[in-house]
């Protein structure tokens, strides 16, 4: 189970090696994604709170990257954070997520991306439920639910 200390270590010293890499040109991503998916996942945008289609869905399945279909989160670790974005306590695998320090907008946060294709997902915070204490705050537009 990942902890905040490990998240910070990854963001400072380097991320785990992904199982594979997917790289495409900007025009290839634009052809594959909707304009909103492209804005959020490739240009590091965000959706308005409580606007994402996956916020209130609690069906069994895997939440995969909208860009490359890599499994990122399992529905069993999704929780209601009250923030307006889908929230998770752990990635599906330690090497599914890439972490980077984000100093934008006058604050310091940890950005999370798909470690396979570098698609922007959202941010992780140390205020989630036990046992990990982590809250992965993820844009709905960055994921798709693969129902079981």
Q: Which residues are catalytic?
A: 137
- 68, 116 Cβ separation under 8 angstroms: yes
Q: Measure the CA–CA gap between 75 and 60, rounded to whole angstroms.
A: 5
Q: What is the CA radius of gyration of the chain?
A: 14
Neighbours of 135 (CB within 10 A): 21
Measure the N-to-C terminal CA separation of the chain; round to a whole number of Å.
Answer: 23
């Amino acid at each position: 189970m990942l902890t905040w200390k490990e998240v910070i270590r990854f963001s400072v010293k380097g991320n785990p090696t992904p199982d594979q890499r997917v790289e495409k040109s900007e025009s290839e991503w634009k052809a594959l994604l909707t304009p909103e998916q492209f804005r959020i996942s490739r240009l590091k945008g965000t959706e308005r709170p409580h606007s994402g289609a996956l916020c209130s869905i609690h069906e069994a399945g895997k939440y995969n990257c909208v860009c490359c279909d890599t499994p990122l989160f399992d529905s069993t670790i999704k929780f209601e954070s009250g923030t307006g974005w889908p929230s998770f306590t752990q990635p599906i695998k330690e090497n599914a997520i890439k972490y980077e320090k984000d100093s934008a907008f006058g604050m310091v946060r940890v950005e999370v991306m798909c470690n396979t294709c570098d698609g922007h997902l959202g941010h992780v915070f140390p205020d989630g439920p036990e046992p990990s204490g982590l809250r992965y705050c993820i844009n709905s537009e960055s994921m798709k639910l693969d129902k079981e």
